[in-house]
Amino acid sequence: MNSETESGTPFQDVYSAADLAGFDPERALGDPGEFPYTRGVYPSMYTSRPWTMRQYAGFGTATESNARYLELIKHGTTGLSVAFDLPTQMGYDSDAAVSAGEVGKVGVAIDSIDDMRTLFESIPLGDVSTSMTINAPASVLLLLYQLVAEEQGVDPTGLTGTIQNDVLKEYIARGTYIYPPQASLRLISDTFAYCREHLPRWNTISISGYHMAEAGATPAQEIAFTLANGIAYVEAAIAAGLDVDDIAPRLSFFFVSRTSLLEEVAKFRAARRIWAQLMRDSFGAKNPKSMMLRFHTQTAGVQLTAQQPEVNLVRVTIQALAAVLGGTQSLHTNSFDEALALPTPKSARLALRTQQVLAYETDLTKTVDPFAGSYVVESLTDDVEAAARELMDAVAERGGAVAAIEQGFQKSEIERTAYQVAQQIDSAERVVVGVNRFVMDTEDSYEPLRVDPAIEAAQSERLARLRAERDSAAVDRALQRVRHAAAGTDNVLVPLKEALALRATVGEVCDALREVWGVYQPTERF
């Protein structure tokens, strides 16, 4: 167990220059900001300014979440990251029968432009960068954000931020999909085209390995399956008539950072190198920005424990350190109490302070790529890259990411490794402090943050009021235009925006697309 990396390659006691013998010049280190970007995508990295410090937040109503955002901004957050509740993630309104018991629980409930307006009240959207963790209905939430920004007088061409918009990983590891894969790719391609014209500075997709890692993927599996999904998105966009150099510069990625610090640093370096070579050699990209793998990182929620939760402060610090040493562009640090409940304001502030200590009290920002040339890190980078490429070849042999998803390949590979880890923890072969070693007989009491169940009724009342006040005939006509575009080849985001501006709800516009495209029904084939 201790002699292997998380990806299953041998760990040596001592590394030397001999371990790097036969190093391919195409994979040579070079300088930061130069192909193949192993050492970072920008020449100066953090020596000119620190990474963007995002804190993932959202719960209950838009009013409550807005208060949390204003608090985080006051304490130094430089980028917002919105968590949506499960009904919103699935494209349902809060008053839908399927939403019962889930409204506002794991994120904020957003049903209409009214909620989005409240969510960002007193926050100048032209001055902040906002990340929205939303996938199947990502285009809908982005359009609501654009509408609110326009109400504030902000030119959409200046808006900056990211929508996750990565549906393929939902079929693999998370499950908040709506439409079948091909329809989802159509919607994503339409979003690429729409943003190229209307929101040119917006990152149109954050291709995510994080949730695969949370489901049990190794570092090699995480980047292999994430980059394979990236290939599928680029191919879909090109098939829709877009040029690789039009879309690739606006792609971003989202990875986890675990406590296995050395391998995590190597993972980030390997991912940049693989992507740069893919974009140049497989897709013929000419723009250097097309070859730069830019990514957001979140510390590993799956490694946090309910037992002795204060120990999570140490875990999160190590994970954040790995992300920074690996060259992340932005970072979210989990709160120590997230294994118990939604984070309290105090624990969320402490998570932000963790980043600020790393940025301003250490010497991490004094030099670019501190681990460059380390025998162990360079060797591990080669190992992770080789393992990831082998898995990517296996995906390609099955017909690409979508076909492999339909065959259950990625899901079964991740479940296999997750089971192995669970066995190792159960047998104490893998030590988890406070869980299978260094256990306490009694735990300190802790009062978690709880979401008021009355929120569900309040959201239903807001929806009833909205439907009574709006022009229902105009909404119906707009929804029909959405259906017509979905059935044809017109960009669906144009009629979607019109419908949302008329106060159509998230559930209503998603239902209009469901009527045309259907709903994905997974088939177990492994």
Predicted pLDDT of residue 481: 98
Cα four-point dihedral sign 115, 119, 121, 125? negative
pLDDT at 1 over 50: no
Q: Is residue 51 within 8 Å of residue 328, measured between CB atoms? A: yes
Predicted pLDDT of residue 345: 86
Res. 265 pLDDT band, cuts 50 70 90? very high
Phi/psi for 316 (5° steps) reads -65, -40
Query: To which residue do tokens 């690429």 refer?
Result: 192
Distance between the two ends of the chain, CA-based, in angstroms? 27
- Show the 3-state SS of 397-442: HCCCHHHHHHCCHHHHHHHHHHHHHHHHHHCCCCCCECCCECCCCC
Beta strand extents in 110-192 (DSSP E only): 129-133, 160-163
Which pTM value belongs to this model? Answer: 0.89
> How many alpha carbons fall within 13 Å on the CB side of residue 322?
27
Cross-strand pairs, 297: 255, 331
- In this prediction, residues 223-228 reach a mean pLDDT of 98
- In this prediction, residues 202-230 reach a mean pLDDT of 96
In whole angstroms, what separates CA 103 from the centre of its chain? Answer: 22
Measure the CA–CA gap between 155 and 151, rounded to whole angstroms: 10
Measure the CA–CA gap between 295 and 256, rounded to whole angstroms: 10
Predicted pLDDT of residue 2: 54
Predicted pLDDT of residue 22: 56
Res. 207 pLDDT band, cuts 50 70 90? very high
Predicted pLDDT of residue 526: 41
Measure the CA–CA gap between 250 and 244, rounded to whole angstroms: 10
Res. 30 pLDDT band, cuts 50 70 90? confident
Cβ within 8 Å of residue 357, ≥6 positions away: none
- In this prediction, residues 402-409 reach a mean pLDDT of 93
pLDDT at 26 over 60: no
Predicted pLDDT of residue 58: 82
- In this prediction, residues 106-124 reach a mean pLDDT of 96
Measure the CA–CA gap between 334 and 344, rounded to whole angstroms: 11
Predicted pLDDT of residue 402: 94
- List the structure tokens of 454: 């009355």
Report strand pairing: 202-203 vs 160-163. parallel
pLDDT at 525 over 70: no
Q: Is residue 123 within 8 Å of residue 71, measured between CB atoms? A: no
Q: How much of the chain exceeds pLDDT 90, in percent?
A: 83
Report strand pairing: 202-203 vs 251-257. unpaired
| pLDDT tens digit sequence for 268-301 | 999 999 999 999 999 999 999 999 999 999 999 9
Predicted pLDDT of residue 524: 60
pLDDT at 78 over 90: no
Query: To which residue do tokens 């009491």 refer?
Result: 445
Predicted pLDDT of residue 450: 77
Average pLDDT, the chain: 93
Which CATH architecture describes the domain 49-426?
Alpha-Beta Barrel (3.20)
- In this prediction, residues 130-155 reach a mean pLDDT of 97
- In this prediction, residues 412-434 reach a mean pLDDT of 95
pLDDT at 10 over 90: no
Res. 456 pLDDT band, cuts 50 70 90? very high
Predicted pLDDT of residue 479: 98
- In this prediction, residues 15-39 reach a mean pLDDT of 75
Q: Is residue 1 within 8 Å of residue 430, measured between CB atoms? A: yes
Domain ranges within the chain, ordered by starting residue: 49-426, 454-517
Measure the CA–CA gap between 482 and 104, rounded to whole angstroms: 27
In whole angstroms, what separates CA 214 from the centre of its chain? Answer: 12
Residue 477 burial (CB count, 10 A):
14
Question: 3-state class of 130 per DSSP?
Answer: strand
Predicted pLDDT of residue 226: 98
| pLDDT tens digit sequence for 83-109 | 999 999 999 999 999 999 999 998 999
Predicted pLDDT of residue 142: 98
Phi/psi for 453 (5° steps) reads -65, -15
Predicted pLDDT of residue 25: 53
More confident residue, 16 or 45: 45
pLDDT at 464 over 50: yes
| pLDDT tens digit sequence for 295-337 | 999 999 999 999 999 999 999 999 999 999 999 999 999 999 9
288 class by beta-carbon count within 10 Å (0-12 exposed, 13-18 middle, 19+ buried): middle
More confident residue, 314 or 72: 314
pLDDT at 492 over 60: yes
Predicted pLDDT of residue 28: 62
Predicted pLDDT of residue 81: 86
Q: Is residue 517 within 8 Å of residue 182, measured between CB atoms? A: no
Measure the CA–CA gap between 141 and 145, rounded to whole angstroms: 6
Predicted pLDDT of residue 154: 97
- In this prediction, residues 147-162 reach a mean pLDDT of 96
Range ranked top by mean pLDDT from 14-28, 225-239, 511-525: 225-239
